[in-house]
Amino acid sequence: MPGRLLACLTAAVAVGVAPAAGQSQTVPPAPLKRLSLEDLAQVEVGIVYGASQRAQRTTEAPSSVTIITCDDIRQFGYRTLADALRSVHGLYVTNDRAYDFIGVRGFNRPGDFGGRTPVTINGHRINDAVYDSNFAGTEFPLDMALVERIEVIRGPASSLYGNNAFFAVINVVTRRGGNIGGAELSASGATFGAYDGRVTYGSRLAGGAEVTVSGTIAGSAGPARLVYPEFKMVNDGVADNMNGESGGSLFGEVRRGDYALAAVYGRRSKHVPNAPYGTLFGDPTYTTADERAFVDLRYDHEYANQLDIRVRAYYDHYAGRQQFPYEYNYGVPPLLGDRTLNIELDTARSLGAEAQVSKTLWGRHEVMLGSEFRWDPLLHLRNLDDDPPNVWRDNRDNAQTAGAYIQDTVPLTAGLALNAGLRYDWFSRFRSTVTPRAALIQSAGHDTTVKLLYGQAVRAPNYYEYGNIMPGYRSNPDLQPETTRALELAVEHGINAHLRAGAAMFLSDIGRLIGQAYDPETGEFYNDNLGGARARGAELEIQGRWANGLRGRLSYTFADCTDTTTGYRLSNSPMHLMQLSLAAPLRGGLTAGFELHAMGSRKTARGGNCGAYAVANLAISSASSASGAEWSLCLRNLLNTRYADPVPEDFQQDAVRQDGRTIQLKVTHRL
């Protein structure tokens, strides 16, 4: 670790800073269950909605929870959801020059698509129906300036969310139109020719309805020169101007009374410079593009007799396109030197509905009953060559899932409560599953909470895993969902009026992990349930907030994740994670946000090693002036640290080096 970085860390620890955003102990004047999800975003209290699908204090939630607020996003200069998640203890993000992938407590295998961590926008799941990808980087279909809060809910949550809620659930809550209160114009420029522009309008209309409309365009030329020694025979391994991207997003929402109609659209196209999967190095036609959209209609009404009814109906669309340039075609025999472009086209369309009823029974049981149904009328995998034309795969399918669940929260004794849930899920292609969850939550005085948490979760094979049928690849009719069982003991304690500390110990057993296998008799690849993994570890965090605006957080995570068959550590699994954040007011209405992310060494997919590293970020932001203008200056990787992330075995590289120092200037004007 560079000396300057160590000095920064030592200074921060010396002043006792480690605050977490949104964790003030101020209690809202109205009962929590009577506040809407968006109203809660305005309350200075640690409140979470996604842990139990109802409003509750984080200390009462049957999970370990972290809240990232809009102040965090602005003051630390988070440009993407992945940037924000890097600040959360137990989480880390890796990048393969095409996508960002979220890791939780040491689990983030290269080659996975992120399907074990659902990401939702206002409770609507955005993981696609082909790969279950969760879109955390620049492909995330929402501008971060529209985010009011991010709820990170650790642990298995299939008892509420069903499929894929394996390690954590991330719920992104958007700003409400009435709180925007007019028009916003925003523009930024950054290193590598990066830019973005946003126009937003939000208002509460005379009739009581609230409207939000926003559009964003963004792009980047990327680093002009990237060096990959593995391709030294081609242009000395230099990829010139091969990391550019472009995209945009649209968001609209109308709220009136108990009804809310929202629509989201996002698209991103990116060049891939490091030529994975045996593609032609230095060819600018290698691109990957994703398009994601949904329409969501919600109804939420609370009756006077403590009966709540929530109903949701939605439509989802996903389209992906990848272009792979190869230096030969697949004729018989292959024609070497005859370049062809292989194109992967993936499409999914989904319709779904959810219904939920909550009521307090016998004055003490907070009971919730829910059901969910999703129909994927189109799941389409297509793979073809452009010249000579040839179709290698054109597979169409459909799928249905249905689930029903119950959750009950009941006080047992003074300060001790039990939260228990159970869910049944039916899959049209796999056997049904039952997933329980239970939490004992003890409030030991006003400032201390102890939680004993147990949960199970499932991840059904996605369509790409069971539907990828083409020459050299076959299906596996015996493929079954992955499973996990997790136990956690967590303690939170208020040290004084300014400082709060937390600690947790966790153990997870993962079974039937899905991976690629090879059949030597047929010469075909297929997906199979290959084995299991075990994760065990501990987390420590201290956080604080002071009246002068100083706040921060310091955390450490130890995670030991091993393959239960071989006993070896999993690839891309750091044993040590450390995060530090500090926001401090400066003169003239400015705020400085400093972050430090440190990660231990990681094994690569081929058994190599990515060394430990620490990256520092610094952001300076202004408060909104009388004219409505504000600005921010963000320096990421402040000390230009050299580091790399592991990638899958079908990459030519063992690990891919990440960007050095970048600078972004952003200006926002409110009308």
3-state helix/strand/coil string of 389-420? EEEEEEEEEEEEEEEEEEEEEEEEECCEEEEE
Q: Is the pLDDT of residue 255 over 90?
A: yes
pLDDT in tens, 404-439: 999 999 999 888 999 999 999 999 999 999 999 999
The reported pLDDT for the residue numbered 364 is: 83
Mean pLDDT of 313-337: 81
Q: Is the pLDDT of residue 361 over 70?
A: yes
Mean pLDDT of 20-27: 35
pLDDT band at 45 (very low <50, low <70, confident <90, very high): very low
**Which strand (E) or helix (H) includes residue 536?**
strand 524-545
pLDDT band at 330 (very low <50, low <70, confident <90, very high): low
DSSP assignment letter at 233: T
**Which strand (E) or helix (H) includes residue 9?**
helix 3-14
What is the Cα–Cα distance from 109 to 385, expressed in whole angstroms?
A: 30
The reported pLDDT for the residue numbered 24 is: 35
Mean pLDDT of 547-572: 95
Mean pLDDT of 372-395: 94
What is the Cα–Cα distance from 174 to 177, expressed in whole angstroms?
A: 9
- How far, rounded to the nearest angstrom, does the alpha carbon of residue 69 sit from its chain's CA centroid? 15
The reported pLDDT for the residue numbered 55 is: 79
Mean pLDDT of 578-590: 95
pLDDT band at 332 (very low <50, low <70, confident <90, very high): low
Preceding peptide of 389 cis, ω within 30°? no
Phi, psi of 202 (to 5 degrees): -145, 140
Contact 653, 228 (CB under 8 A): yes
- Would the pTM count as exceeding 0.85? yes
The reported pLDDT for the residue numbered 12 is: 35
pLDDT band at 31 (very low <50, low <70, confident <90, very high): very low
Q: Is the pLDDT of residue 252 over 90?
A: yes
pLDDT band at 336 (very low <50, low <70, confident <90, very high): low
The reported pLDDT for the residue numbered 621 is: 96
Q: Is the pLDDT of residue 590 over 80?
A: yes
What is the Cα–Cα distance from 562 to 532, expressed in whole angstroms?
A: 9
The reported pLDDT for the residue numbered 32 is: 47
pLDDT band at 334 (very low <50, low <70, confident <90, very high): low
pLDDT in tens, 459-476: 999 999 999 999 999 999
- Which one is the CATH code of 3-239+260-300+310-333+341-389+436-670: 2.40.170.20, 3.40.50.1100, 3.30.70.870, 3.30.430.20? 2.40.170.20
Mean pLDDT of 51-56: 77
The reported pLDDT for the residue numbered 337 is: 61
How is residue 470 written in tokens? 């083409």
**What burial class does residue 264 get, using C-beta atoms within 10 Å of its C-beta: 0-12 exposed, 13-18 middle, 19+ buried?**
buried
User: Which of 216, 184, 180 is CA-nearest to residue 80?
Assistant: 216
Q: Is the pLDDT of residue 3 over 60?
A: no
pLDDT, averaged across the chain: 90
The reported pLDDT for the residue numbered 331 is: 55
How is residue 110 written in tokens? 């290269």
Query: Which has more pLDDT, 659 or 20?
Result: 659
The reported pLDDT for the residue numbered 34 is: 46
Amino acid at 297: L
List the Cα angle 482/484/488 in 5-degree steps: 165
Q: Is the pLDDT of residue 390 over 60?
A: yes
Q: Is 671 helix (H, G, I), strand (E, B) or coil?
A: coil
The reported pLDDT for the residue numbered 10 is: 34
The reported pLDDT for the residue numbered 48 is: 81
pLDDT in tens, 196-239: 999 999 999 988 899 999 999 999 999 999 999 999 999 999 99
What is the Cα–Cα distance from 134 to 167, expressed in whole angstroms?
A: 13
The reported pLDDT for the residue numbered 54 is: 77
How is residue 432 written in tokens? 């049904």
pLDDT in tens, 610-653: 999 999 999 999 988 878 899 999 999 999 999 999 999 989 99
The reported pLDDT for the residue numbered 56 is: 80
What is the Cα–Cα distance from 139 to 290, expressed in whole angstroms?
A: 7
The reported pLDDT for the residue numbered 224 is: 93
